[in-house]
Structure 1
Amino acid sequence: MTASPRFTRRTITDQVTEDLRARILSGDFPAGFQLRQDAIAAEYNVSRIPVREALQRLDAEGLVSFQPHKGAIVAHLSLDEIEELFEARKLLECELLRHAVPRMTPEDIKSIEDILAVYDEAFRSGDISKWGELNREFHDRLYRASNRPKTLEIVRMIGNNTVRFTQAQLALSGATDRAEREHHHILDACKARDVDCAVELLASHIDNSKTSLIDCLRGARPSDGTAS
């Protein structure tokens, strides 16, 4: 079977993984959606082998789970699990930012400013489909100067599990003005090299996002006994 022409630069498995990940994170494949290997292979015009390998990678990232009689499905997270992930984010990201701020170069600051400008424009234009990924990219650029690659890798994996919920939370709660304001305040503290202020603002920002998201999901989900 010949691979689709768009899968040419990296391995087929890499690109199937990236495409499926993007569709999960965007909400195109919602929680509980069954990912049928034969249907995906047919859609991408590839064999089932790279599809199976891609799903196994996404399982390792926590985005997919394998269930008896169903196969691979988009992972569902309980409210308790989402809260736990945000608490882990706060601990790790605050530590990354504490290491990053003193090391930030003018180029690092410019990179953060650039992505924030794109993010602001997506807010103003109401381009909801981009909010989750731009939010993740903004946070990622904040921490790149930390020189903590392993911690950053863990944070990115946690981000894969929360970005689709963050996007929904921003859309449902209407909290875009607050998020935009908090992002700029964090950046201002980074520019001023005020480590303690930047970390405090980040911790508050993650707490606010967690509370808003939990409130939105608690209101949207029926009671199923999976979360308190």
Structure 2
Amino acid sequence: MRGEAKWRKKHTKNWRILRLRKKFLSGKLRVGDHIAESSIANELNISRTPVRRAIARLEAEQLVEIKVNRGATVIESSMSLNHFISLLEMVEMLTIQTITKMENKRLPFYDAPFREKLTQLVEYSNKRQDEKYVKALFDYLFEFVRLMQNSYANRWIQVIESDFDLKAQKEIKVLPLLLANETNHELGEILTALTESNYEAAKTKVKDIINKFIVQTFR
């Protein structure tokens, strides 16, 4: 009996979340709409506490945004092309800022860890292990930007990865895979430039990669 009660509790919670998610997908709740806990609770005939928990779960899935004293608001649940371009531009800015700090501070660059990550990227792309490749690509990017020693920059990379994972549609998610060979080559060129302290060449290569993604986005 205890196991059955636990099962019912778990699936009742999931049911509430599914009901709310269905409202997003059906268009009943649109971007910018405010979510009133009391209205949802009345509609589902439950207390406000489980509604609040369900909304918190949807915030984790980046379907809503919760602000203090303002409640929850529906946010964009799928990634538009313009939003994706903005993320690419953010990646370019953070990467170039990292290189600029290395240049200004004359920080030593040890390419061995990144060569290992690059070898892994090549292996994943050759074996068509798509999910592993994308995950490894973000890991490479995160570790590189960490060289800037800026927690704000690190957080942005995590936000970009989460946005891509949760909101990007199929035609956007395939872009890293379509450009895998070119990306791997350019990353190798960037590592070579940095080991030679050729910072301008490294920045140019970063811009080349981002530009290729932007061009491919609109094909």
* TM-score, normalisation: structure 2: 0.61
2:150 maps to amino acid: R
Q: Write the distance in 1 (CA, Å) between the matches of 2:54 and 2:189.
A: 42
Which residue of 1 is the match for residue 33 of structure 2? none
- 8 Å CA contact 2:85–2:214 kept in 1: the answer is yes
Report the aligned-residue RMSD.
3.3
1:140-155 equivalences under 5 Å are 140-155=142-157
User: CA 1:83/1:105 → structure 2, altered by over 3 Å: closer, same or farther?
Assistant: closer
Instruction: Write out per-residue CA displacement over residues 76-97 of structure 1, whole angstroms, 9 at most, x where no aligned residue.
Output: 1221222222223222321123
Instruction: Write out per-residue CA displacement over residues 190-219 of structure 1, whole angstroms, 9 at most, x where no aligned residue.
Output: 22222221112112211212221332xxxx
Q: Do structure 1's residue 80 and structure 2's residue 82 form an aligned pair?
A: yes
Across the two proteins, how many residue pairs are aligned to each other?
Answer: 163
User: CA 1:33/1:115 → structure 2, altered by over 3 Å: closer, same or farther?
Assistant: farther
1:213 to 203, 214, 217: 217
- 8 Å CA contact 2:81–2:217 kept in 1: the answer is no
Which residue of 2 is the match for residue 193 of structure 1? 197
Q: Write the distance in 2 (CA, Å) between the matches of 1:33 and 1:148.
A: 40
Q: Write the distance in 2 (CA, Å) between the matches of 1:123 and 1:33.
A: 36
Q: Do structure 1's residue 176 and structure 2's residue 180 form an aligned pair?
A: yes
Q: Do structure 1's residue 114 and structure 2's residue 116 form an aligned pair?
A: yes
Q: Write the distance in 2 (CA, Å) between the matches of 1:81 and 1:104.
A: 35
1:53 maps to amino acid: A
Task: Tell me by how many angstroms 1:115 deviates.
Answer: 1.3
* TM-score, normalisation: structure 1: 0.59
- Whose Rg is larger? 2
2:96 to 91, 94, 97: 94
Unaligned runs of 5+ in 1: 3-31, 35-46, 216-228
Q: Write the distance in 1 (CA, Å) between the matches of 2:59 and 2:201.
A: 41
Task: Tell me by how many angstroms 1:179 deviates.
Answer: 1.4
Question: Which one scores higher on RCO, CA 8 angstroms, separation ≥ 6?
Answer: 1
Which residue of 1 is the match for residue 69 of structure 2? none
Unaligned runs of 5+ in 2: 4-24, 28-49, 66-72
Q: Write the distance in 1 (CA, Å) between the matches of 2:133 and 2:126.
A: 11
